[in-house]
Amino acid sequence: MLPQSQLGFGYQLNHKKIQRFENLPIPTPKSNEVLLKVEACGLCLSDPHLLQAGPMPTPNPLDKFVMGHEIAGSIAQVGENFKNHPLYKIGGRFALTIAIACGNCYNCRTGNDGQCTTSIQAYGLNEDGGYQQYLLIRNLRTLLPIPENVSYEVAAVTTDSVLTPFHAIQKVKNYIQPTTNVLVIGCGGLGLNGVQILKNYGCYIVATDMKEQVRQTALEYGANEFYTDLSESEYEPQHFDIIFDFVGLQKTLDLSNYFVKKGGKIVMVGLGNSKLLIPNFLFAVREIEIIFNFGGNSSEQIECMKWVSKGLIKPNVNLVDFEKVPEMLDALKSGKLVGRTVFRPNKL
């Protein structure tokens, strides 16, 4: 028997702090829907950004919704049309794509469903997400299977913390050789996974982060060198072929400008500032390419799960009690967390 109500945390209009929602109803799936028992949901820096700047734009914005977009779970209940379905069985293990793509538009049909042109809905970013115990799934194409040897916690963070750097790296992988000098700026959840992915391409990786406590992890994950301040290194200006910015602040873009080679590439992943001042003339005469990124697509998510299953990527996951969502969100904003914090809503 499912419980009658559940606890959740999320966005409410005119509030800048995450709200605690008591006694949320647990919906019953209709004919072509399933109910997912949320086994794990990851905390992301996009969560405090959402609370400050508002949800992702949508034609019909909600005044209130449950947050949490890195979601993995098991099927708890199915609609009438899926009673004997070979894939959507009770207990089936799935991770969600964040984007609730239509599957029919040009981008979806050509494999770029992370940039669906019809739907701009996203779990936990403008629709109900995983900071609750049960989540109704109306669009079943958002359910992607989890390999048997991958835990729910690791699968949850793979949907974003692994997928996002993987997606960004795929755009420049053909330019990465063993002699390529790569700089990774920011060793949070995405940056550390980015280091692990890059290691598999055999390039020379220099990582930098203001937090000294991530040094050992960055080196263990594949960085050849680590600095809390690149000015302490012996690297000259215009040294790096490719720079991955997992922070996205003006000062990190300026750092990239200083260190990127002529003809080099700056791969922007972090969203620390909503706007950045780009030195147009300097980038033009040096022919610097800036590549922006957001999330990834469903085929890349499946590939990421394979990499994790084979041990090529080992996300740094820290399990925390679900009741501490607001506390951990504040800690994340203050830069006190290392790796990825994951909650298990059904372990109350």
Q: Is 291 helix (H, G, I), strand (E, B) or coil?
A: strand
Q: Crossing angle for the helix pair 46-53 and 325-333, nearest 10 degrees? A: 90
Instruction: Locate 166 and state its tokens.
Output: 């993987």
Give residue 348's pLDDT.
65
Judge whether residue 102 has pLDDT over 70. yes
Buried b (16+ CB within 10 A) or exposed e, 44-78: bbbbbebbeeebbeeeeeeeebbbbbbbbbbbbbb
Q: Are 155 and 95 in contact (CB under 8 A)?
A: yes
Identify the band that residue 119 occupies on the pLDDT scale cut at 50, 70 and 90. Answer: confident
Measured CA to CA, the distance from residue 301 to residue 288 in angstroms comes to 29
Domains assigned to the chain: 5-160+296-347 (3.90.180.10), 172-292 (3.40.50.720)
Phi, psi dihedrals of residue 209, rounded to the nearest 5°: -160, 150
Give residue 112's pLDDT.
96
- Which amino acid is located at 273 in the chain? N
Measured CA to CA, the distance from residue 140 to residue 39 in angstroms comes to 18
The average pLDDT across 39-62 equals 94
Judge whether residue 84 has pLDDT over 90. no
Give residue 338's pLDDT.
86
What does the DSSP 8-state code read for residue 64? E
What does pLDDT average to over the chain?
Answer: 96
The average pLDDT across 62-87 equals 95
Judge whether residue 326 has pLDDT over 80. yes
Buried b (16+ CB within 10 A) or exposed e, 83-98: eeeeebeeebbbbbbb
Helix (H) or strand (E) holding 34: strand 34-42
- Which amino acid is located at 47 in the chain? D
- Strand arrangement of the beta sheet that strand 19-25 belongs to: 19-25, 5-12, 64-66
pLDDT, one tens digit per residue, over 155-208 is 999 999 999 999 999 999 999 999 999 999 999 999 999 999 999 999 999 999
Instruction: Locate 165 and state its tokens.
Output: 């750097």
Buried b (16+ CB within 10 A) or exposed e, 257-272: bbbbbeebbbbbbbbb
The average pLDDT across 96-118 equals 96
Give residue 341's pLDDT.
97
Identify the band that residue 22 occupies on the pLDDT scale cut at 50, 70 and 90. Answer: very high
Identify the band that residue 9 occupies on the pLDDT scale cut at 50, 70 and 90. Answer: very high
Length of the chain: 348
Measured CA to CA, the distance from residue 312 to residue 189 in angstroms comes to 16
Phi, psi dihedrals of residue 75, rounded to the nearest 5°: -75, 125
Question: Quick one: the chain helix, strand, coil %, rounded to 5?
Answer: 30, 25, 40
> What is the secondary structure of 204-267 as a DSSP string?
EEEEE-S-GGGHHHHHHHT-SEEES-GGGS-PPSS-EEEEEESS--HHHHHHHHHHEEEEEEEE
Judge whether residue 291 has pLDDT over 90. yes
Question: pTM of the full predicted structure?
Answer: 0.96
pLDDT, one tens digit per residue, over 260-289 is 999 999 999 999 999 999 999 999 999 999
Judge whether residue 4 has pLDDT over 90. no
